[in-house]
Structure 1
């Protein structure tokens, strides 16, 4: 690697990195503050354009403002020839240009094969690393083999509803009057349609979402995994986006796409690794049955659903359900769904047991019996006394047979 190119990039990126942007303070900073006290490598992974680079700027501003840091973004076409053997040259170039430091902030590091070898060596010498990447499987696989016990992983998602309101400088009073509720509901409906991808919320240009989606498909999936069936990947992704919130059958997809069932599973796994979609298993005490049962699928952001999916497949209740799922993931919950005679949308698994059962629907008007039956079946099956129904705007407490049912608007639940 030419040291002149590295010098040029370091100077350019340093100027951009230290530019005093106005940030929406991410809620992830609260947990990051605790982890920075530890010597461990901090890995931040998430969807492209979800704010990982900006989060690094926030970390620098709030925690390292009085220190020299080595910041480097590997998402640059001038680094095509950069390999793991060039890290030493990069380190020497940093010392030459900015002086000594023991803090590395590396952005999109998954672009360099075997990057973990340098990180491990320098970590053992007492250096601190905060690293971002856009591929969950690649990061976990590499860290699991060479950095076991030396890292802490954090997943960054697009803006939550709270962060969306911060972006708009909207404060939520402790006690909501009628006007306040109406205003918050209006902002929530905008959030449901526009999602939480920061750049899109600022510019509201669909080309931003289209480019993001295509970059993920072609760079993070098609190119990274050296796939040959581009048409299959695009058709599969479109199908999953159009069937969000529903069960998927590998056998059905195999027939529809005319490929093997292993190809279907692999391609869905690649899409999950890129943070575009997520699959949720049906809960069963038998792990074997969990693995073989149909999965439900959800999408990373409602803005992409509204742009990509078949328009007749969208409905308000399913968008709410997708939003609730992403919020549960954002809060690091292990999530399943329940299905027997009836169905319950979400089960939260903590401390080796099911701790919460949640049903999501646009409205209980004329629909309460079906929603209550699914929730009641889950509550009874897993020994819970109380369940939650999230709706567009209803709020009350109810009893179904011997179980307490709390009904709450999704927007209010998101603000808790």
Structure 2
């Protein structure tokens, strides 16, 4: 187990405060381990073990506690023994409890205890729950290991390798924490990742959302996973599946994409017109919670390296709390404000526009700046952008090609320095 300061630093200001801490994220991303780290911090502050109650609601022995009345009785019995001391309650996979959104606020109010929850499905943070809590909660989103965490873990495990060698493993197998126990052996890792995928699909999508046609979902998801970072269109997916003799409506496509997003499997990036700031209601892009799942489900991470690099950078921005959109920027004609289409009728796309409070970043991501046409394609949209915010081109090149105020960085270095650059 390694320390995860990126998440602990977000939780610390709320420890002991009358707000419910909710840790969300895809299954096996480290949510339960994060709660262990919080408990260790509490012990270091002098909190007794008996003043903490930990209930994992997916453990078979606790299956009866999915009944909210029985869970209430157990918490009450523990709280009554605190004798005026502060109590700390940890409920793992809270969405397993019926009507939990009514139970949890009541526990906080009645017993004056500090509550920490985890959940694997974002849908459980519904508007109904927000109404019950009335702003008395904070959400911390947890992801599989970042590249810097991945490198630190491998160093702790005594693995001798270069940064480049570590990244070669990371971009294929990803950052799910348990992979270290498999020594990153490719075949066992892929089997484990497939088991995560199957569990997410079955428990957090099919069962939780009562999906009747699981086979249709099974046909759609691999297509979405294969096409991460590509422009999404419900209509085009409908036509594509029809070509495979699979009948699905646009409405069903959109529903299943939302279900995958609720399960923290996919993340959406809206497309924004850089000039007008207009958000387009279509042509957004979707990214996967971990590139290792793509390798397990679809393969070809090394062959589709541009997509994988996009996905890795997108997730790194999310880890650090940035809101990320895709930028559409028309070409400028002869220095005027009139816009024109790029070759082939396309506008110049900016891969990511990241916003965090008053800060903003513009980023282009590519595999290699192999020739002048590639350099122009990546740098030109940023050069034409009238903004003083930082602009980056990220690639796997070792040579620094920074120019005209645009910083060029090796993606590996950018990821290792992300705590300073993005924090």
Specify which of 113, 116, 128 is matched with residue 98 of structure 2. 113
- 2:135 alignment counterpart: 149
Matched, 1:357 2:323: no
- 1:7 alignment counterpart: none
Cα distance in 1 for partners of 2:299, 2:414 equals 29
Give the stretch that moved more between structures: 159-168 or 234-243: 159-168
**Cα displacement string for residues 291-341 of structure 1 (whole angstroms, at most 9, x for unaligned residues):** 522111111111111111253894222211110000001111111111242
Matched, 1:72 2:72: no
**Pair 1:409–1:152, CA change in 2 (3 A):** same
Aligned residues: 379
Give 1:289 deviation, angstroms: 5.8
Cα distance in 2 for partners of 1:405, 1:133 equals 40
Q: Is this contact kept in 1: 2:361–2:389, CA < 8 A?
A: no
Q: TM-score, normalised by structure 2?
A: 0.82
Q: Is this contact kept in 2: 1:135–1:274, CA < 8 A?
A: yes
Specify which of 373, 376, 382 is matched with residue 369 of structure 1. 376
Cα distance in 2 for partners of 1:148, 1:351 equals 23
Cα distance in 2 for partners of 1:240, 1:226 equals 21
For structure 2, the residue ranges without an aligned partner over 5 or more in a row are 331-346, 418-423
SS in 2 for 1:375: helix
**Pair 1:393–1:201, CA change in 2 (3 A):** farther
Cα distance in 2 for partners of 1:398, 1:95 equals 60
Q: TM-score, normalised by structure 1?
A: 0.84
- 1:347 alignment counterpart: 353
Matches within 5 A, 1:306-321: 306-309=295-298, 311=300, 314-321=303-310
SS in 2 for 1:408: strand
Cα distance in 1 for partners of 2:55, 2:276 equals 42
For structure 1, the residue ranges without an aligned partner over 5 or more in a row are 1-21, 172-179
Matches within 5 A, 1:155-166: 155-166=141-152
Cα distance in 2 for partners of 1:166, 1:386 equals 28
Give 1:396 deviation, angstroms: 2.2
**Cα displacement string for residues 98-129 of structure 1 (whole angstroms, at most 9, x for unaligned residues):** 98762101100011121122221122242110
Cα distance in 2 for partners of 1:266, 1:162 equals 35
Q: Is this contact kept in 2: 1:70–1:101, CA < 8 A?
A: no
**Pair 1:102–1:287, CA change in 2 (3 A):** farther
Q: Is this contact kept in 1: 2:354–2:360, CA < 8 A?
A: yes
**Pair 1:246–1:52, CA change in 2 (3 A):** same
Q: Is this contact kept in 1: 2:272–2:280, CA < 8 A?
A: no
Q: Is this contact kept in 2: 1:280–1:295, CA < 8 A?
A: yes
SS in 1 for 2:378: helix
**Cα displacement string for residues 391-410 of structure 1 (whole angstroms, at most 9, x for unaligned residues):** 113342533xxx41111011
Give 1:38 deviation, angstroms: 2.5
- 2:312 alignment counterpart: 323
Q: Is this contact kept in 2: 1:363–1:394, CA < 8 A?
A: no
- 2:338 alignment counterpart: none
Q: Is this contact kept in 2: 1:336–1:346, CA < 8 A?
A: yes
SS in 2 for 1:279: strand
Give 1:37 deviation, angstroms: 4.6
**Cα displacement string for residues 372-393 of structure 1 (whole angstroms, at most 9, x for unaligned residues):** 223334x23xx24642001113
Matched, 1:215 2:220: no
Matches within 5 A, 1:6-405: 22-65=1-44, 66-67=47-48, 68-80=51-63, 82-94=66-78, 102-125=87-110, 126-169=112-155, 183-203=162-182, 204=184, 205=188, 206-255=190-239, 256=241, 257-284=246-273, 290-309=279-298, 311=300, 314-339=303-328, 340=330, 341-351=347-357, 355-366=360-371, 367-377=374-384, 379-380=385-386, 383-384=387-388, 386-399=390-403, 403-405=404-406
**Pair 1:314–1:146, CA change in 2 (3 A):** farther
Give 1:95 deviation, angstroms: 5.5
